Amino acid sequence: MAFQQLFSLILSLLFISSTLPSFAQVMDISDYNTYTDLETASKQPKKVYALSLESQQLKSVPDAIRKFSNLRFLSLDNNQIEQLPGWFAELSNLKELRLNYNCFKVFPSQLFSLEELTNLQMQYNQLERIPMGIITLSKLEKLDVSDNNISVIENGFYALNNLKLARFRNNKLVSIDPQIQNLNQLEVLCFARNDIHSIPIQLFNLTNLNYLSLWDNEITQLPDQVCKLNKLEWIGLFSNKLTEFPLCVLSLPSIITINMGDNLYDSTFISNVKSALYQYPKLNIFFDKKQNMDFFH
């Protein structure tokens, strides 16, 4: 009888374990102990899943990192790094990489081998282009390359079908490629502070967008197709050259905040907008330049 009970218990445990999600599925970066110095991390290299070496005046990536084959999260923010070593491509388990506030002029080709990467941040560098090779990062969900010198985005970027967030604030772009519509999972899109003159209507096929930031450009028209964005919550086109915008934006079902200040509206258009606002008492709409930065980055 005891044997039968033990056998039944083992079967039950096997069933339960088979229905649980795997360790890889349930783990999150917040679950890892983040090491902040190499000496401590190097004592147990296989147990290093998260490493932060921010603000350490590094001019190159320490070779010791090469031993951390299970690394999932790495931050090298606020250093003086200009390039990655060849072995960096071996960090095949890396999911989140932060290289903000460094000195990269060229997008590192070593990153093209990091096929598990889901979050890449390279703000405040000196990048000039997004290369074709980025196409290999098929699992990428977040890309932030704000505050660089980017003037060219090559076609590989538009094949990143899992991308949910793309930020290109404060670069040197003069247009938005109609291929942007291919990124149909995008929820957050920012091209603020560039030199963009028009918005392609294909952008408004991104029906999952909830945040659209295009402020401080040279845009003269917001196409009526913006009213297709039923999930849009925030839109910012302040500091452009708009003379009007489609009033249907006011009635978008998810809209919370509209910031269209510092444009070229005449008093008649402003009066028409204010007259329509009584129907939407909970809507935040701004024409005041002082409030431009409250909701948009």
Which domains, from first to last, does the chain contain? 29-156 (3.80.10.10), 173-297 (3.80.10.10)
The pLDDT-based confidence of 286 (bands split at 50, 70, 90) is confident
User: Contact 250/277 with Cβ under 8 angstroms?
Assistant: yes
Query: What pLDDT score does 293 carry?
Result: 55
> In angstroms, rounded to a whole number, what is the distance separating the alpha carbons of residues 12 and 99?
47
Strand extents, DSSP E, the chain: 34-35, 50-52, 73-75, 96-98, 119-121, 129-130, 142-144, 152-153, 165-167, 188-190, 211-213, 234-236, 257-259, 284-286
Question: What would the pLDDT profile of 132-168 be if each residue is shown by its tens digit?
Answer: 999 999 999 999 999 999 999 999 999 999 999 999 9
Note the residue count of the chain. Answer: 297
List, in sequence order, the alpha helices (H) in 100-259: none
Strand extents, DSSP E, 118-195: 119-121, 129-130, 142-144, 152-153, 165-167, 188-190
Query: What pLDDT score does 32 carry?
Result: 76
> In angstroms, rounded to a whole number, what is the distance separating the alpha carbons of residues 264 and 185?
33
Structure tokens at 10: 């083992």
The residue-averaged pLDDT of 70-84 equals: 98
User: Contact 84/107 with Cβ under 8 angstroms?
Assistant: no
Find all residues with CB under 8 Å of 61, minimum gap 6, and list them.
Answer: 76, 81, 84, 85, 88
Average pLDDT along the chain = 89
The residue-averaged pLDDT of 34-46 equals: 95
Query: Does the pLDDT value for residue 24 go beyond 80?
Result: no
Taking CA atoms, 10 is separated from 2, 14, 19, 109, in Å, by 12, 6, 15, 50
13 vs 30, more confident: 30
Query: Does the pLDDT value for residue 27 go beyond 90?
Result: no
